[in-house]
A = this chain, B = another copy of it.
Amino acid sequence: MFKIKVPATSANLGVGFDCMGLAVSMYSEFYFEASDQPLEISGCDVAYQNNRNLVYQAFLKGCEFLQEPTPNLNITIASQVPVARGLGSSAVCIIAGLKAASIWFDNAISTTNLLKLAVEMEGHPDNVTPSIYGGLCVSFLNDQQQPVVAQYPISDELKFVALVPNYPISTHEARRVLPTTMNYATAIHQVSRCTMMTHALETGDADLLQRTCQDLIHEPYRAKLIPEYQQAKQLAESEYGTMYISGSGSTLMAIMPNQQAAHSLLVHAQALFPQWIISPVQIDKNGVQSEVINRGEVLYR
Q: Which residues of A contact B (CB under 8 A)?
A: 15-20, 138-140, 142, 148, 150, 152, 178-184, 186-200, 208, 211-212, 217
* Structural contact, B19 and A138, CB atoms closer than 8 A: no
* Structural contact, B150 and A196, CB atoms closer than 8 A: yes
With A180-B183, A182-B187, A190-B191 already in contact, the answer to whether A199 and B138 are too (CB < 8 A) is yes
How far apart sit A182 and B191, CA to CA, in the bound complex (Å)? 13
- Each complex incorporates copies of this chain amounting to 2
When C-beta atoms are compared, the residue in chain B nearest to A152 turns out to be: B199
Q: In the assembled complex, which residues on chain B have CB atoms less than 8 Å from the CB atom of A197? A: 195
Q: In the assembled complex, which residues on chain B have CB atoms less than 8 Å from the CB atom of A186? A: 187
How far apart sit A139 and B195, CA to CA, in the bound complex (Å)? 10
* Structural contact, B140 and A187, CB atoms closer than 8 A: no
* Structural contact, A17 and B191, CB atoms closer than 8 A: yes
Q: In the assembled complex, which residues on chain B have CB atoms less than 8 Å from the CB atom of A16? A: 191-192, 195
* Structural contact, A140 and B196, CB atoms closer than 8 A: yes
Q: What is the distance, in angstroms, from A145's C-beta to the closest C-beta of chain B?
A: 13
* Structural contact, A208 and B178, CB atoms closer than 8 A: no
Q: List 24 contacting pairs A-B, 8 Å CB cutoff, sorted by A.
A: A16-B191, A17-B191, A18-B188, A18-B192, A19-B191, A19-B192, A138-B192, A138-B199, A142-B211, A148-B196, A150-B196, A152-B199, A180-B183, A180-B184, A181-B182, A182-B182, A182-B184, A182-B187, A184-B217, A190-B190, A191-B191, A194-B195, A195-B197, A195-B198
Q: In the assembled complex, which residues on chain B have CB atoms less than 8 Å from the CB atom of A180? A: 183-184
How far apart sit A263 and B204, CA to CA, in the bound complex (Å)? 39
